[in-house]
C-alpha cells in the first residue's frame, strides 16, 4: 500500500492540473460550472500517483495564480507529510500489536476485523472523498477528513471491547480515505507546477518510511507502554497537521468547488454503491468468522451470509453498470483490457501481502515467543525489501517504459517467497526467515506499483483519476478479503489439530486466550501441543497467501506486453 502511494504521486499532478483548468473555466462562467465534470473522482486517486509529466499548460496558468510564500509552503508540506505518515502508519502499526490486543480482549477470532475494518472503509470511501473535494470547499473537506480519522483513532484508543475497536478502525478508515486524497490535492494547489514533483516525492517517501517503522513502533508501544498508543499517537500528530493547514493554507480561486445541486453532489459520490460493496464484504467476513467456529458451515447463518454476499455483489455490479459516469467503478473503463487485468492482479497480489503482514507477527510472538518489539524488528526484512524494490521498479519503468515483465517477475518472486514462508516451522533459524522475507519482499516490491503505472500510462487524461481509483479500490478490497480468508483458515485448522496435539485442552479455550498468553494460561506440556496447532494454522494462512499471489502470476500473463507510451 505504501509503495503504491509513492509510485502514483507524480501522476496526481496531471490530474490536478486538469482540475485547475476546469475550475478556472468554472470561474469564468458560473453557468458552465453546473455541468458535472468529466473527471469523476478526480482526487480520489491522488493518494498514490505515478510517473507522468506535468501538463504543459500548467506554466501558463501559474502566471495568474498566487502561491504561498516559501515559509508558508514549507509549513504546509510538513503538515501534509505528517498526514500521509499517519495514514500509512495506521495500516502497518497494528500488525505487531494484534497479538497483545487479542490478549486483552480474548479475541483471537476477531483478528481479521482489525485489518479488514480499516481496509473496507478506506477503499469504499475513496471515490466518495474524491468527489467531495471536487464539489465542496477544499480546506473544509480536508479538515473534516482529519476530524473523522481522529475520532476513529480516539475510539480505538479507549475501546473497552473488541467490537468498539473494530468500529473505531472502520471510522478511522473513512477519514483516512479523505486525508490521503486531500493531501495530494492540497499540494497540487499550494505548490508551483515546477516544484510539485519534489514535494510529491517527499509525500510518497513518507509512506515508505511509515511502512518500515510502523511494525517496530507498534511492537515498542505494546511492550513498554500499551498497544492503545498505536492509536493515541494519531491524535497529537493529526492535530498539529490540521492546525498548520488551518493557519497557513488558503484555497486559491482555482480550487473553487464546482457548482451543482446538492442532490447531484450526493449522487456523484455513489453512496448506494459504497454501502453495497461494504455490506458485501461484511457478509463475507462474517461468514468466514462464523463458519466452522461459532456455527457449522452448513448452518442457516453461514449459508445466509454467503447467499447475502453473492446477492449484494450482483446488486452492486448492476448498480455500477446503471450509474455510468457517476459510478464508483465506471463500466466503460473496467472493460479495457489493461484495467481488468491490473485490477484482478492487484486484488490477489496486494491481498496476499497483507495476509502475510498480519500473520508473520503472530508466528514470531506465538510460536517463537518473541516480544512485540522483537517481532517488529524481525518484520523489517520484508517491508524494507518491498520499499526499496518499489522505488527501483518505478525508476526502471520511468527509464524504459517496460512494465508487464515486472508484473510477471514480481509475482513469480513473491510466490516463491511466500511459498518459502509456508515452510517456516517451530524453531526455524533466523537465516531462513530473514531470507524468505527478503525474497518475498523483493517480489512484492517489484510488482506493487506497476498496476497503477500501467493503468495511468494507457489512459486518456479524463480517465486518469477513475482508472487509478479502481486499482486502489481493488487493492484495499483484496486486503480485506485475504486477511479474512487467512483468519478463517488459521482458526479452523488450529481447531482441527488441537484435539490431536493437545487432547486435554479445550480448543475454544485456546481460541479465547490471546495469541501471546498461551504460555501464561496453560501448563508447559500443554503449551507444546498448542504451539503445534498454532503453527499448523499459520501455515494454512501462508498457503492462502501463496495461492493468491500465485493466481496473480497467471492473471498478469493476460496483460499487454508493450512499452508504455508506444503506439
530: how many CB neighbours lie within 10 A of its CB?
Answer: 24
Q: What is the pLDDT of residues 90-105, one digit of tens each?
A: 877 887 788 888 888 8
Does residue 394 register a pLDDT over 70?
Answer: yes
Cell of 92: 502497518
Cell 477503499 locates to 123
Whole-structure pTM value: 0.75
What pLDDT shows up at residue 28? 43
Cell of 80: 501534509
Pick one of 3.40.50.2300, 3.30.2290.10, 1.20.1250.20, 3.30.450.20 as the CATH number of 69-269.
1.20.1250.20
Does residue 35 register a pLDDT over 80?
Answer: no
Q: How far apart are CA 113 and CA 110, in angstroms?
A: 5
Domain 329-567 has CATH 3.40.50.150: no
For 173, the 3-state DSSP assignment is helix
pLDDT confidence bin for 163, thresholds 50/70/90 = very high
pLDDT confidence bin for 323, thresholds 50/70/90 = confident
Does residue 13 register a pLDDT over 60?
Answer: no
Helix (H) or strand (E) holding 476: helix 464-501
Q: What is the pLDDT of residues 494-539, one digit of tens each?
A: 989 999 998 988 888 887 777 777 888 888 888 899 999 999 999 9
Q: Which of 233, 279, 308 is nearest to 82 (CA)?
A: 233
Does residue 142 register a pLDDT over 60?
Answer: yes
Cell of 536: 499448523
Does residue 47 register a pLDDT over 70?
Answer: no
What pLDDT shows up at residue 465? 64
Q: Look at 170-174, 230-234, 250-254, 471-475 and tell me which has the smallest mean pLDDT.
A: 250-254
Show Cβ contacts of residue 219 under 8 Å, excluding neighbours closer than 6 positions: 96, 97, 361, 371, 372, 373, 374, 375, 376, 377
Average pLDDT over residues 31-53: 37
Q: How far apart are CA 463 and CA 160, in angstroms?
A: 45
Q: What is the pLDDT of residues 178-198, one digit of tens each?
A: 898 788 778 777 877 666 656
Show Cβ contacts of residue 215 under 8 Å, excluding neighbours closer than 6 positions: 92, 93, 95, 96, 361, 375, 376, 379, 380, 383
Cell of 53: 509529466
Q: How far apart are CA 203 and CA 82, in angstroms?
A: 9
Average pLDDT over residues 61-82: 77
According to DSSP, the residues that pair with 295 across neighbouring strands are 291
Q: How many residues does the chain have?
A: 567
Cell 472503509 locates to 121
Q: How far apart are CA 41 and CA 84, in angstroms?
A: 19
Mean pLDDT of the chain: 81
Alpha carbon 53 to chain centroid, angstroms: 25
What pLDDT shows up at residue 304? 94
Q: Look at 60-64, 269-273, 423-427, 489-493 and tell me which has the smallest mean pLDDT.
A: 60-64
> Do the Cβ atoms of 248 and 189 come closer than 8 Å?
no
Q: What is the pLDDT of residues 206-259, one digit of tens each?
A: 776 777 688 788 888 888 889 999 999 999 999 999 999 999 888 877 778 888
Does residue 171 register a pLDDT over 50?
Answer: yes
Does residue 34 register a pLDDT over 70?
Answer: no
Q: Please state, for a pLDDT cut of 90, what percent of the chain lies above it.
A: 30
Higher pLDDT, 255 or 31: 255
What pLDDT shows up at residue 66? 72
What pLDDT shows up at residue 512? 76
DSSP secondary structure string for all residues of 57-119? THHHHHTT-----HHHHHHHHHHHHHHHHHHHHHHHHHHHHHHHHHHHHT-GGGHHHHHHHHH
Count H helices, E strands: the chain?
A: 24, 0
Higher pLDDT, 34 or 394: 394
Q: Please state, for a pLDDT cut of 70, what percent of the chain lies above it.
A: 84
Amino acid at each position: 500500500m505504501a509503495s503504491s502511494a509513492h509510485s502514483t504521486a507524480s501522476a496526481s499532478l496531471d490530474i490536478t492540473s486538469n482540475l485547475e483548468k476546469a475550475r478556472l473555466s468554472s470561474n469564468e462562467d458560473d453557468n458552465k460550472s453546473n455541468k458535472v465534470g468529466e473527471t469523476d473522482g478526480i482526487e480520489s486517486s491522488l493518494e498514490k500517483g505515478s510517473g507522468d509529466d506535468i501538463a504543459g499548460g500548467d506554466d501558463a496558468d501559474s502566471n495568474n495564480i498566487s502561491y504561498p510564500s516559501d515559509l508558508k509552503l514549507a509549513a504546509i508540506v510538513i503538515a501534509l507529510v505528517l498526514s500521509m505518515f499517519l495514514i500509512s502508519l495506521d495500516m502497518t502499526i497494528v500488525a505487531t500489536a494484534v497479538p497483545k490486543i487479542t490478549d486483552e480482549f480474548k479475541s483471537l477470532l476477531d483478528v481479521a476485523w482489525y485489518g479488514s475494518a480499516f481496509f473496507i472503509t478506506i477503499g469504499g470511501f475513496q471515490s466518495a472523498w474524491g468527489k467531495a473535494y471536487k464539489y465542496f470547499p477544499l480546506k473544509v473537506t480536508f479538515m473534516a477528513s482529519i476530524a473523522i480519522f481522529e475520532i476513529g483513532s480516539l475510539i480505538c484508543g479507549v475501546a473497552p471491547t473488541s467490537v468498539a475497536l473494530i468500529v473505531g478502525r472502520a471510522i478511522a478508515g473513512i477519514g483516512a480515505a479523505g486525508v490521503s486524497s486531500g493531501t495530494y490535492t492540497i499540494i497540487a494547489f499550494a505548490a508551483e507546477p515546477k516544484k510539485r514533483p519534489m514535494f510529491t516525492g517527499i509525500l510518497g517517501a513518507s509512506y515508505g518510511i511509515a511502512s518500515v517503522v510502523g511494525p517496530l513502533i507498534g511492537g515498542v508501544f505494546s511492550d513498554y507502554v500499551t498497544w492503545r498508543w498505536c492509536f493515541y499517537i494519531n491524535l497529537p500528530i493529526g492535530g498539529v497537521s490540521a492546525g498548520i493547514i488551518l493557519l497557513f493554507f488558503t484555497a486559491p480561486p482555482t480550487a473553487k468547488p464546482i457548482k451543482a445541486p446538492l442532490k447531484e453532489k450526493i449522487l456523484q459520490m455513489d453512496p448506494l454503491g459504497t454501502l453495497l460493496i461494504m455490506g458485501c464484504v461484511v457478509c463475507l467476513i462474517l461468514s468466514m468468522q462464523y463458519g466452522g467456529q461459532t456455527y457449522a458451515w452448513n448452518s442457516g447463518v453461514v449459508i445466509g451470509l454467503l447467499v447475502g454476499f453473492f446477492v449484494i455483489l450482483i446488486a452492486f455490479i448492476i448498480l455500477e453498470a446503471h450509474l455510468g459516469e457517476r459510478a464508483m467503478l465506471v463500466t466503460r473503463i473496467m472493460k479495457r483490457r489493461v484495467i481488468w487485468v491490473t485490477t484482478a492482479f492487484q486484488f490477489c497480489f496486494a491481498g496476499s501481502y497483507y495476509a502475510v503482514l498480519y500473520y508473520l507477527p503472530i508466528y514470531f510472538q506465538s510460536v517463537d515467543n518473541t516480544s512485540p518489539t522483537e517481532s517488529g524488528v524481525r518484520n523489517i526484512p520484508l517491508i524494507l525489501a518491498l520499499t526499496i524494490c518499489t522505488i527501483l521498479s518505478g525508476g526502471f519503468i520511468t527509464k524504459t517504459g517496460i512494465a508487464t515483465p515486472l508484473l510477471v517477475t514480481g509475482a513469480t518472486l513473491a510466490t516463491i517467497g511466500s511459498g518459502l514462508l509456508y515452510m517456516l516451522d517451530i524453531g526455524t533459524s533466523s537465516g531462513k526467515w530473514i531470507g524468505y522475507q527478503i525474497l518475498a519482499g523483493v517480489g512484492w516490491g517489484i510488482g506493487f506499483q506497476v498496476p497503477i503505472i500501467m493503468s495511468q500510462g494507457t489512459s486518456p487524461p479524463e480517465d486518469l483519476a477513475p482508472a487509478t481509483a479502481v486499482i486502489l479500490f481493488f487493492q484495499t478490497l483484496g486486503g480485506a478479503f485475504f486477511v479474512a480468508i487467512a483468519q478463517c483458515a488459521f482458526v479452523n485448522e488450529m481447531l482441527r489439530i488441537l484435539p490431536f496435539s493437545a487432547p486435554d485442552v479445550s480448543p475454544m479455550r485456546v481460541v479465547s486466550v490471546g495469541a501471546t498468553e498461551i504460555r501464561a494460561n496453560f501448563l508447559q506440556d500443554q503449551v507444546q501441543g498448542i504451539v503445534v496447532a498454532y503453527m499448523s494454522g499459520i501455515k494454512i494462512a501462508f498457503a492462502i497467501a501463496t495461492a493468491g499471489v500465485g493466481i496473480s502470476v497467471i492473471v498478469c500473463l493476460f496483460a499487454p506486453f508493450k512499452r508504455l507510451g508506444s503506439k
